[in-house]
Chain A
């Protein structure tokens, strides 16, 4: 895959179960039509080729096609409208600079998301988050990890989750967990697509998603306990 800026370039984790965009065996069995990972239609492919050749109208068309998803991803990651607008702008400027290097090894949408993720991660680093590279985003400190569910009987969420509480809990996740959770559970990308975007193994993507959900569960249960006390 061509370069998409620095943080992801530094990440080369183990690939015990693959990690390339063509790696098999990641179907969830659920309908994920909202992920938008289907093959492009010929008209879009033609538009992409024209944009790669420097056609400004074709580039504008690509912006129209992808702006909603890229902006939404930025907004979900940083939680701030002005910042998300700046990041969207930067992501598409980067796209303009790099689009000629897209070789079609992965879906264009996956490649563009990878590029946008790099822009977001660089911004998080600038803001002083302890995030040097995606390596660290994917491997939060052990104390930031979820608790195990062994030992004492659990208090369950009983199937009811307060929407605001969940949004708060997601916002409080370490950046790496938040990224995986948003890409998979909110955006609907498959693990093989995420592995391609983040240059990690499919197993790593699954594992980090699981930890993110566990951490959210911890946070929601803590909030439920607090409410029960008050």
Chain B
């Protein structure tokens, strides 16, 4: 593996992507991406997916019956 980030190939870059993305650093500024449209597109897509996921599945309250069932079950367990 190359120690110089600018000389990384796609295999090396993508192997580092999980850590790079999770680090909170600006992954888009990585030197490998300056000359690699494929990895740039990959990073862009994964970022888009992660951002879109936050808009999904609004959290919802369970109906009151769930607590009623829990209380009933707890009384039975006593």
Contact = CB atoms under 8 A, between A and B. Distances in A.
Interface in A159-183: 159-161, 163, 166-167, 170, 181-182
A89 B41 contact: no
B56 A93 contact: no
A167 B56 CA distance: 7
B41 A166 contact: no
Interface in A178-230: 181-182, 185-186, 188, 191, 203, 206-207, 209-210, 213-214, 216-217, 220
Nearest to A216: B49
A141 interface: no
Contacts, number: 126
Q: How big is the A interface, by class?
A: 35 or more
Q: How large is the interface on B (under 10, 10 to 19, 20 to 34, 35 or more residues)?
A: 35 or more
Interface stretch (A26-34, A107-115, A116-124, A125-133): A26-34
Interface in B51-78: 52-57, 59-63, 65-67, 69-70, 73-74, 77
18 contacts: A72-B59, A72-B60, A76-B57, A84-B62, A89-B73, A93-B73, A93-B77, A96-B70, A96-B74, A150-B14, A161-B48, A161-B52, A166-B49, A170-B53, A203-B19, A207-B18, A213-B46, A217-B45
